[in-house]
Amino acid sequence: MLDFAAARENMVENQVRTNDVTDLGVQDAMRAVRRERLCPPTKLHLAYAEAAVEYAPGYFLMEPRDVSKLLQGLRAQPGERALAIAAPYAAAVLSLMGLKTALRLPPGLDAGELTAHLAEDGVPTVTGDLAALDENGPYDVIVVEGAVHHAPEAWTAMLNLGGRLGVIERQGPVGRARLYTRSPEGVVSARTLFDATPPMLPGFEPAPAFQF
């Protein structure tokens, strides 16, 4: 029998804190969220490993290190509205940190018991085109698990004034975590946080290059 409680503590101590994640809110939430509940039964042994875990065909929970650094960069605050795009683990962590969080998944995705577990924790799931505007926005925080070639304008358009989007953009073998911010004046700017190589999010791969 796997000791998931011990595995969670080891994850925070060895994958989160050692990667310069000092945000105690992120650390405490990751110590409490039962990541194994978001994994298929055949992947429980990977729940706290330094690996991306496939929870549905083509869709992955990002490595704990990457999620923790992305969430720290977002500087999420209790009471803010958050949207987690194909990001069930980040959704659970943000909810426990006190944010009003919803998970967005594409239509028809078979996520097993994952969405039921999140609903028990107060995280509703909505379905729709991941690259389109969300009629329930705007949001203070948006986070994405999985790499994209570039962040769609629809995502930054869903940010409140002062809102932040955390996403990993990947044009080659190594991706870069990017923090997009909408200023109080409505201007969107971006900066790079760290390097990461999560799997590409389905439908967000680069377009094939033209060849003669």
34-44 mean pLDDT: 95
| Residue environment code for 32-47, b if the CB has 16+ CB neighbours within 10 A, otherwise e | ebebbbbbeeebeebb
Q: What percent of the chain has pLDDT over 70?
A: 97
pLDDT band at 211 (very low <50, low <70, confident <90, very high): low
Residue 168 counted as domain residue: yes
Q: Find the angle CA(95)-CA(100)-CA(101) to the nearest 5 degrees.
A: 65
What is the CATH number for 41? 3.40.50.150
User: Residue 188 is inside which H or E element, if any?
Assistant: strand 188-196
Q: For position 208, what pLDDT does the model report?
A: 62
Residue 206 counted as domain residue: no
Residue 212 counted as domain residue: no
Strands in 81-85's sheet, in edge-to-edge order, are: 125-127, 100-105, 81-85, 139-148, 159-169, 175-182, 188-196
Q: What percent of the chain has pLDDT over 90?
A: 86
Residue 46 counted as domain residue: yes
Q: For position 112, what pLDDT does the model report?
A: 76
Q: Is 120 exposed, middle or buried (0-12, 13-18, 19+ CB in 10 A)?
A: exposed
183-198 mean pLDDT: 94
Residue 179 counted as domain residue: yes
Residue 40 counted as domain residue: yes
- pLDDT tens digits, 155-182: 999 999 999 999 999 988 889 999 999 9
- What is the rounded CA–CA span in Å between residue 111 and residue 116? 9
Q: How many domains does the chain fold into?
A: 1
Q: Evaluate if residue 114 carries a pLDDT over 70.
A: yes
Report the relative pairing of strands 53-56 and 59-61 from DSSP bridges: antiparallel
CA distances from 102 to 23, 24, 46, 86, 119 (A): 22, 22, 25, 10, 10
* Secondary structure letter of residue 131 according to DSSP: T
Q: What one-letter code names the amino acid at 83?
A: L
* Secondary structure letter of residue 86 according to DSSP: T
- pLDDT tens digits, 124-135: 999 999 999 988
- What is the rounded CA–CA span in Å between residue 123 and residue 125? 7
209 φ, ψ (degrees, to nearest 5)? -75, 145
Contact indicator for 145, 89 with CB cutoff of 8 Å: yes
Domain that holds residue 52: 4-196
Distance of CA 51 to the CA centre of its chain: 14
Q: Evaluate if residue 29 carries a pLDDT over 70.
A: yes
